[in-house]
Amino acid sequence: MTGDLEFLRRAFRDVPVCHLSTLDHSGAPHVASRWFVWLEDGLFVSTRRADATWENVLRDPRVSVVIDRGLNWAELTGVRLEGSAEAVPAEHPDVRGAMSGWHEKYRSMIAGDGFERLTRQVPGLGFLRVQGVTAHAWDHRTT
């Protein structure tokens, strides 16, 4: 089942974690769980600059992102997005909206001294802007 991107964005934007697949230097898949924000103008996945995920995207921008929910088989529903990612530092003006949306989404997780802790634990935050998306959705609740 493929789906309308706007419907899928609204359905899955509140999920806290996505699973991002990039290609490593040998061409093997590298999958990592990441925080993300899915805004009207695109999907933005946060990662550390210079980590394996960031470096993989610089070398080969092809990515696949899975966002899903549910615990047992009959509850599983999700979307796989395939596209091309652009690595953008968090302080770049092009991602101000994404950064604001990201802060709003994860505010409760980084309340109090949480943001300071996060900036110490994740130096060099960056975003992968996923574009040219093809979506493939599934819903086990209807099968």
| pLDDT per position as a tens digit, 38-63 | 998 899 999 999 899 999 999 999 99
- Give the pLDDT score at 143: 62
How many CB atoms are closer than 10 A to CB 76? 15
Mean pLDDT of the chain: 90
Question: Is 19:33 a contact under the CB 8 Å cutoff?
Answer: yes
- Give the pLDDT score at 1: 39
**What mean pLDDT do residues 65-85 have?**
95
Q: Report the run of H or E that residue 89 belongs to, with start and end.
A: strand 77-89
CA distances from 57 to 26, 54, 61 (A): 13, 5, 4
- Give the pLDDT score at 47: 95
So what CATH class is 5-142? mainly beta
How many CB atoms are closer than 10 A to CB 31? 11
- Give the pLDDT score at 109: 75
